Amino acid sequence: MKVHFKYGKNGLNIDLSDNLNFTIIKAPEEKEIVNPVEEIKAKIYDPIGTLPLKELIQQKAKFHEISIIIVISDATRPSPSKIILKALTEIFEEIGIRDEQIKILIATGLHRESRQDELVRMVGDNFLKRFEIIDHNANDETSLAFVGYSNDRTPIYINTYYLESDFRILTGYVESHFFMGS
């Protein structure tokens, strides 16, 4: 019997012996989101437990022009950054935030910097041209600021672009780490 698994980019076909006793359990089909950008914007306009993003930004921008940093996952995480960025930038345009006020920081952790083809896949050509995009580099001490110690006295350093921004937006998804677990 041939079985197709949704795995990786293209799936995985497995040929199972007819002598095996097994049951295939399928998750319920999820409804396709027709317009993901509008769906994301709807959630941002009506968040749970906080003011809408527009109001939060407008409060900070009352007295001076603010800087915004958007943190996105690196190429090792299958996050829909391009779609999220489109939704966010449409909201920014509605409230008069200019492209020059926005930076995109790629959360590489200890991974290498992004290749050009990965940048195009993650954010698209349009956003590559519009915004300053920065790969976090944990090994570049000049791009890090010491902010204190953890409970077990491990020194904590944070990216200076992140710290120096007036408004910080982190995107991505939550999952257990492949090696470290939860």
* Nearest alpha carbon to residue 52 among 86, 95, 81: 95
Q: How many domains does the chain have?
A: 1
- The answer to whether the beta carbons of residues 68 and 97 sit under 8 Å apart is yes
Structural domain contains residue 25: no
**Domain annotation covers residue 17:** no
Q: What is the pLDDT of residue 178?
A: 66
Round to whole Å and give the CA distance between 75 and 52.
29
Whether 9 is covered by a domain: the verdict is: no
Inside any domain, residue 21 = no
2 falls within a domain: no
178 in a domain, yes or no? Answer: no
Average pLDDT per 10 consecutive residues for the chain, totaling 182 residues: 82 87 83 93 96 94 93 89 96 96 94 92 94 95 96 96 97 74 58
Q: pTM value?
A: 0.81
Question: Given this model, what pLDDT does residue 58 score?
Answer: 92
Residue 129 confidence (pLDDT): 95
Contact 166, 68 (CB under 8 A): yes
Residue 104 lies in a domain: yes
Residue 10 lies in a domain: no
For 7, what's the count of Cα atoms within 13 Å in the CB-facing half-sphere? 6
- According to DSSP H, which parts of 30-135 are helical? 36-45, 53-60, 81-94, 116-130
Active site residues: 111, 177
What pLDDT, on a 0 to 100 scale, did the predictor assign at position 95? 94
Residue 3 has what pLDDT?
86
The CATH number assigned to the domain holding 75 equals: 3.40.50.11440
